[in-house]
Structure 1
């Protein structure tokens, strides 16, 4: 494991500036409500900010304020942040992101979780924080190995944590990170202090596994919400799960195209109420795009979907619950898909279930204080 500093070559930034200056946006009409996809007027506004006001070096400096490392595990390059906790007995905690996320979406959790006393908390709640970039995402690249998906990533995370000196550890995940975290709690329950999720799916979802219709009181609308997501918001999934390489050629050649593909999800998946900058500043959105652009990692991030669908999950045991590690679930009502509590009680070793009305798919970024407190409260109750 070697220390790593983010230092994007000037030539990469100059090439980006040239492409932005020469960008050619498609005509857009009848799309004030974004019904056809990314609104053209707002995209022009965002690209103009990117061209004239956005300062990558300032964001690069902010990232480099944390200790970064790179290693290789089973032929897979892995980048991660590792921050030691300040407290009497910090709990090792790995935070795993999803798509179209990056490791940087967890930045507001690092300080409060690693140094709670500095944020008005109890030093006993301190964590050693590990935030990896998913294989093929950002600086966990270039990935030139096929077959790397969420359940294989869980195996890599166990080796990563072992290499850092953590034979037992805690895990939190959102989006793909929730799949990985659930797999850790399934296959490696004996090594997990506990698992904490904001997104719930059965691990065999890509093999046709379904959630039983067990919606209880207050959950009656959740099934329709789920159906609406798969009807209106799953087109990206079908493309990335079937022809990710074709899409990659377009996205890795056009920064504006990449921006539209990634940022549109922030508006529709975050709890923005249609006002994207109510949750994400222009710089926030563009830094996400930059972490895909400067690493040429969009193609391998998209393949993560293909590998999940074409290399199906198989259970490591047939016991119930499927996820045996103690599980805490923070239910954000504006998350893309919501599962009934009765199903969760059967599927997970459920120890904590809390519902929040504010916050959507990017919960750790949208409502970091809420996620921090939910994580603290959950792991505080568990034996180390």
Structure 2
């Protein structure tokens, strides 16, 4: 295995950008019986996004924004792993690995990099500050192409530990939402030497039918079951990606509009309810990374691998100090259900606002949460784990 860490810079050939625009211009549009959200993403929304992607979106500007931050690639477990690595100027900075979800990318964290690595420059106290490692999940964008099956959340977690130690970090924390929450949870279960704690935006734990288990739930938690029912009603993408992602992939890598509509499901909401809050440029940045790397289909393999192994959802003992931020417009984790497998739930926050993509919509709330949790761990244990790599 080649353990070299190599500098990386995103530089999409102009011919690929021209090809994307030609494909968008040549789109064959469906003639839906229900043009609204009754059977999928609304025709009007997808047309709007496709038009902006073709004629308004500035990929080069977004590419430059990403390239402002140091990026690298390395090989772990036979797989190319891409990551952003931003070091703080603060001497006692704490190492933290941040993992995006689907259909997202490391760009999900762009608005958190400044407050976390340079808190002093963002009107916050000098400590805690963080060194940030922000990888691309295998098969999703720049960590591609996939070289093998079986890249579930547990395998990603083991790779992340290898990555942090390859970078020279002896002690670190992990954070994630959506797919990243599954990977962070598996890191907690793995509990490798040096992992100080994990912070997640969801713990997917459900009722088991035990007598009385619902009696102690708070009004906030009970109200959250409306969100769960809504998700179960509409989230067909989970079933498809967990069973037959290869067939789906033919359309996702050949048609940019197919990829756009599919990836819009979670971002914009099944009924378009989040359309007003989604940053179009950020969404299309994620989408473009999937399109230019041809990974729209490979990204779904993460769901298939987890469905086969149970990774990310299995209730194995998790001894790692864990924090959970529960956002009201998202799946609402239930503390008593999470406690069945997490023996050290040391911070549980019911957030005042935000939803599934809070790293983008409410980055300051997330930054404050991470500073509180990991700053506390750092103060308790007294070692930053940083090296002179």
Same fold (TM over 0.5): yes
Structure 1 counterpart SS, 2:202: coil
Is there any run of 5+ residues in structure 2 with no aligned partner, and where?
384-389
> Moved runs in structure 1, 4+ residues, more than 6 A?
314-318
- Rounded to whole Å, the distance in 2 between the matches of 1:315 and 1:356 is 23
Over 3 Å counting, the alpha-carbon distance change for 1:61 and 1:350 in structure 2 is same
- Rounded to whole Å, the distance in 1 between the matches of 2:322 and 2:209 is 18
Q: Which has the higher contact order (CA 8 A, sep 6+)?
A: 2
The alpha-carbon deviation at position 66 of structure 1 amounts to 0.4
Any conservation in 2 of the 1:334–1:357 contact (CA below 8 Å)?
no
- Rounded to whole Å, the distance in 1 between the matches of 2:204 and 2:93 is 30
- Rounded to whole Å, the distance in 1 between the matches of 2:257 and 2:61 is 21
Any conservation in 2 of the 1:189–1:325 contact (CA below 8 Å)?
no
Structure 2 counterpart SS, 1:323: coil
- Rounded to whole Å, the distance in 2 between the matches of 1:100 and 1:273 is 16
Question: CA deviation digits over 1:287-314, x for unaligned, max 9?
Answer: 1210100011112110111111123449
| 2:192 is aligned with 1:194 | no
Structure 2 counterpart SS, 1:186: helix
Q: Please name the residue that 1:25 is paired with.
A: 29
Any conservation in 2 of the 1:211–1:339 contact (CA below 8 Å)?
no
| 2:338 is aligned with 1:344 | yes
Over 3 Å counting, the alpha-carbon distance change for 1:165 and 1:316 in structure 2 is farther
The alpha-carbon deviation at position 273 of structure 1 amounts to 7.7
| 2:288 is aligned with 1:290 | yes
- Rounded to whole Å, the distance in 1 between the matches of 2:253 and 2:313 is 36
Any conservation in 2 of the 1:189–1:323 contact (CA below 8 Å)?
no
Over 3 Å counting, the alpha-carbon distance change for 1:306 and 1:75 in structure 2 is same
Question: CA deviation digits over 1:230-260, x for unaligned, max 9?
Answer: 2222x10111111101000011000011001
Any conservation in 2 of the 1:186–1:325 contact (CA below 8 Å)?
yes
The alpha-carbon deviation at position 264 of structure 1 amounts to 2.7
Structure 2 counterpart SS, 1:222: helix
- Rounded to whole Å, the distance in 2 between the matches of 1:139 and 1:317 is 31
Structure 1 counterpart SS, 2:353: strand
Q: Please name the residue that 1:247 is paired with.
A: 248
Q: Please name the residue that 1:357 is paired with.
A: 352
- Rounded to whole Å, the distance in 2 between the matches of 1:45 and 1:377 is 40
Question: CA deviation digits over 1:163-183, x for unaligned, max 9?
Answer: 001122100010111111111
TM-score, normalised via structure 2 length: 0.90
Q: How many residues align?
A: 370
Any conservation in 2 of the 1:327–1:351 contact (CA below 8 Å)?
yes
Question: CA deviation digits over 1:71-111, x for unaligned, max 9?
Answer: 11110110000000121301000001111111111111111
Q: Please name the residue that 1:177 is paired with.
A: 180
Any conservation in 2 of the 1:105–1:364 contact (CA below 8 Å)?
yes
Q: Please name the residue that 1:67 is paired with.
A: 70
Structure 2 counterpart SS, 1:354: strand
Q: How does 1:131-150 map to 2 (within 5 A)?
A: 131-150=134-153
